Amino acid sequence: MQTSNPESLHLAGVGPVPLTADQLLRSQETTLARLVATGMIADSRSGLVISSNIAMLGALIATTSGTAFLKSGPWVWVLVAITVAGCIASVSMAALAAFPRPGTRPGSLVFFGSIADMPREDYFERLRTVPQAEFARDLADQCHRVAVLAALKFRWVRRAMVAMMLAAVPWLVCLEVAGWLRLPA
């Protein structure tokens, strides 16, 4: 078996060779698209958490509406309160994940807010005259910002899921107690 030395790899174009400007721009565009898609995954999970919590609260309301449940004692109401608090906390955290916080990027040719703030002709003129290195920096800055936002979204979604799972325990106990109370004596 023959091994290559690092010098022969470098001469062959393999190894620690910097990307060309075109390769860098394509790479950043691909990275930005992946990061945006990752943020969309967090958004869909956030929607799932919100709707699951609403369903849990709806079932809890339907369960507690029976007169036997209302008279079952204070310990059941403590479980109801814990469930409601957990669901509300979970929905709040999921909402924090769902609402965008893009910030501002004055003069950016990549960020939608900056593009929308520019008059149309100014935007086209800036596109025609922007140096490639400046555009690459703008694109890299946008990639970083979207990565930060995606990480923040996933952090809030993870917290929302944990709160929902913790709320599910007393919720299930409430449903079980309501089932016992509905059985004929």
Question: What is the tens place of the pLDDT at every residue in 102-157?
Answer: 677 777 888 888 888 888 898 888 888 888 888 888 888 888 888 999 999 999 99
Quick check: is 138 in a domain? yes
Quick check: is 41 in a domain? yes
Task: Give the number of domains in the chain.
Answer: 1
Quick check: is 7 in a domain? no
**Does residue 172 contact residue 59 with C-beta atoms inside 8 Å?**
no
Quick check: is 59 in a domain? yes
Q: Exposure of 27 by Cβ count < 10 A (0-12 exposed, 13-18 middle, 19+ buried)? A: middle
Domain assignment of residue 87, given as a range:
21-104+133-182
Give the mean model confidence (pLDDT) for residues 33-62: 91
**Does residue 154 contact residue 40 with C-beta atoms inside 8 Å?**
no
Higher pLDDT, 181 or 42: 42
Distance CA 149, CA 155 (A): 10
Secondary structure class of 72 (helix, strand, coil): coil
Quick check: is 51 in a domain? yes
Predicted confidence (pLDDT) per residue in 65-116, tens digit? 766 777 778 888 899 999 999 999 999 999 998 887 767 777 788 888 888 8
pLDDT number for residue 19 = 72
Quick check: is 147 in a domain? yes
Q: Exposure of 64 by Cβ count < 10 A (0-12 exposed, 13-18 middle, 19+ buried)? A: middle
Quick check: is 125 in a domain? no
CA of residue 29 relative to chain centroid, distance: 20
**Does residue 32 contact residue 147 with C-beta atoms inside 8 Å?**
no
pLDDT number for residue 57 = 95
Quick check: is 121 in a domain? no
